[in-house]
Amino acid sequence: MVDQDCLTPAVAALAGRRIDAQDADASRFPLIEAEYVLHKIIRRFRQERVERLVCSAACGADILALEAAKELAIPATIVLPFDPDRFRNISVIDRPGNWGERYDLLVTEAHSRDDLIELGLATDDENAFSEANSRIIHSALRSRFQRKLAFVVWEGKSRGADDSTADFLNNALSQGFEKKSVLTKRRNL
């Protein structure tokens, strides 16, 4: 039997893990898993009939989701807490991998489509990333889609009180979003 909800087009609000730093204490999203996670996101977007994506553009989950959306011709809105250059330095090129050029292309394309939201917050604002997550959820809520999905791309559990991915998920669920997870690690690693 086919789940009728899956036949209804949806908007996806997405947040998730950045690629692990080289000196990370705990592994949450190893660089070696990036290609695997990209293919999982593509498959899940197809299964869930995602027709609009709203997320940020940090290295790891965000950039992979934006690339998946691009491959599937899904329109995407990027939300950044500060200007693109500052965000690039803080959340994109500080981790292993070739994220800088990918980010530049995605942000340039979003800007040309008028799908780039810059919140203009200060880089030292401790609530900047929470504000960006709230704006992602708010933008998805305002979309024309009745079916609203909160996609989290992570290892499956909160890191604790300062976990912005878990905070995003809790906020989205309180707004009536359906939870969808994509795990950042294969179980057998």
Looking at residue 68, what is its pLDDT?
98
**Is 188 a domain residue?**
no
Distance between CA 63 and CA 126 in Å, rounded? Answer: 23
Number of separate domains in the chain: 1
Mean pLDDT of 111-129: 96
Question: Binning pLDDT at 50, 70 and 90, where does residue 7 land?
Answer: confident
pLDDT in tens, 69-85: 999 999 999 999 999 99
189 band by pLDDT with thresholds 50, 70 and 90: very low
Please indicate, yes or no, if residue 23 is contained in any of the structural domains: yes
- In this model, does residue 130 exceed pLDDT 90? yes
Whether 12 has a pLDDT exceeding 60, the answer reads yes
Domain contains 123: yes
Domain contains 169: yes
Closest listed residue to residue 182, CA positions, set 158, 157, 155, 153: 153
Contact of 89 with 82, CB cutoff 8 Å: no
Starting from the edge strand earliest in sequence, which strands make up the sheet with 178-183, in order? 116-118, 76-80, 50-55, 10-16, 147-154, 178-183
* 47 CB burial (10 A radius; 0-12, 13-18, 19+): exposed
Looking at 3-7, 38-42, 65-69, which range is the least confident one? 3-7
Read off the pLDDT of each residue in 42-67 and give the average, rounded to a whole number.
98
Q: List the CATH number of the domain containing 172.
A: 3.40.50.450
**Closest of 92, 64, 73 to residue 183, by C-alpha:** 64
| Residue 189 falls inside a structural domain | no
Q: Containing domain of residue 152, as a range? A: 4-183
Please indicate, yes or no, if residue 161 is contained in any of the structural domains: yes
Domain contains 45: yes
Distance of alpha carbon 12 from alpha carbon 168, whole angstroms: 13
State pTM to two decimals. Answer: 0.94
Residue 19 lies in a domain: yes
The C-alpha atoms of residue 122 and residue 82 are separated, in whole angstroms, by 7
